Homo-oligomer: A and B are copies of this chain.
Amino acid sequence: MKNTFGSSLSLTIFGESHGCAIGAVLDGMAAGVPVEEKFLARCMDQRRARGDGLSTPRVEADRIRFLSGVVNGHTTGTAIALMIENQNTRSGDYAKTADLLRPGHADYTAYAKYHGFQDARGGGHFSGRVTAALVAGGAVVLAALQRAGIDIATHIARCSGISDIPFALDDPAALSAQVQTLATKEAGFAVLDAAAEEPMKAAIRSAGAEGDSVGGVLETAILGLPAGVGEPYFDSVESLLAHLAFSIPAVKGIEFGTGFGFADLRGSGANDAFRMKDGHIVTATNHNAGINGGIANGMPVVFRTVVKPTPSIYKQQDTVDYISKKDAQLSIQGRHDPCIVPRAAIVQTCAAALAVGDLLTARYGEGWMTRPATFRKEAN
């Protein structure tokens, strides 16, 4: 199914940038799981544009309206449908250049696929706006995971050539502290290194001022995933996380733990030695990012994705008029982000929550949601 992910806990997304609403159906949540508006609002806020030169001037309230599945602040056990209205649309911006394919965008592929029937206004279903639905649905799962002792957080590891402090891959305690730090940070710009924040912002604003855009790297950590979750081969922890990460528009690469650094290592330097610690089996290093043979080993899961620069730039570009089939030049109108990396951080966190929630439900059924404390005890 094209717009559905997950077999035991699934999310179906829908909506277009300039349609009346975007939304999602989350199916598979047990009954009685708390759904706290405050938590959801905080997640939505992290994805929200602020009109501050770092993100698009199109600012949306992004209030989640539950159509079903949530009563009195708890899940009912049936499908949770939610919608988020599109309020601030200016389709006119796109009209003038509607026949000119925006480079780096899905205009041409949408045309090839939908033969002209696609909703092209504002990018339609391809718009990053649809990720608001992914965040809304994923945040419900994220909260349930937290109650079950599983924390997920994402920071801007690199942006416009400037690096943040990396996650402490090999040191669970230090990494846990980093995740806590991110949780207490004000929404909007998830970096660990206070000294990196302003230079990154300056670089984004500078690119924006030049009618250009910048890319970056997002790093996500998953803490508390019990050993034994995931499957060999097709449903490996890496497979599911990657499947969802590549669903985020602009993500073009992902690596786990030592990642591409493995290419030049030898086995003796790449293996993570096991050792006993406080009665538990742990690894001394964590090159493999908490995953062996596709299955969680109890160490932190850490991965990085690369986010390409926003394709929507104001600089003039070479392109094609797909109606006249002639070469042309395009100056994009509309309102766009000079960099989507900061806003994409929570999207990646929520995408990871969906993958983890699906894997847990496949193994433990609803138990991890309805009796998180018991689950925690048995799983460890």
How many residues belonging to A are interface residues under a CB distance threshold of 8 Å? 158
- The 26 listed contacts between A and B (C-beta, < 8 Å) are A1-B28, A1-B235, A2-B27, A2-B78, A2-B233, A15-B67, A16-B78, A32-B115, A103-B283, A106-B292, A130-B233, A159-B263, A215-B262, A215-B263, A233-B247, A249-B293, A260-B306, A262-B306, A266-B313, A268-B317, A273-B317, A275-B318, A276-B320, A276-B326, A284-B318, A363-B366
**Complexed CA–CA distance, A118 and B295 (Å):** 14
Q: How many copies does the complex hold?
A: 4
What residue of chain B has the Cβ atom nearest to residue A273's Cβ? B318
Chain B residues in 8 Å Cβ range of A98: none
CB A137 to nearest CB in B, in angstroms, measures 12
A252 to B169, CA, bound (A): 15
A196 in contact (CB, < 8 A): no
A309 touches B265 (CB 8 A): yes
Instruction: Give A324 to B48 CA distance when docked, in angstroms.
Output: 49
| A238 CB within 8 Å of chain B | yes
Q: Is the CB of A2 within 8 A of B235?
A: yes
Please judge, given known A-B contacts A31-B115, A296-B109, whether A125 and B232 are in contact too, CB under 8 Å: yes
Q: Which of A4, A126, A130 has the most CB of B within 10 A?
A: A4
Quick check: is A294 within 8 A (CB to CB) of the other chain? yes
The answer to whether A16 touches B68 (Cβ under 8 A) is yes
**Contact between B247 and A253, CB atoms less than 8 A apart:** no
Q: Are A267 and B125 in contact (CB under 8 A)?
A: no
Asked if B78 and A119 make an inter-chain contact with CB atoms under 8 angstroms apart, the answer reads yes
CA distance A366 to B296 in the complex (A): 17
Complex A-B, nearest 8 residue pairs according to Cβ-Cβ distance, in ascending order: A106-B293, A253-B255, A365-B365, A31-B114, A213-B267, A109-B295, A112-B227, A31-B117
Interface assignment of A377: CB less than 8 Å from any CB of chain B: no
Q: Decide if A267 touches B214 in the complex (CB within 8 Å).
A: yes
B292 and A74 contacting across the interface, CB-CB below 8 Å? no
Apart from A77-B113, A83-B83, what are 7 other A-B pairs with CB-CB below 8 Å? A1-B4, A4-B234, A212-B268, A252-B262, A260-B260, A263-B306, A265-B308
- Which of A68, A268, A364 has most chain B Cβ within 10 Å? A68
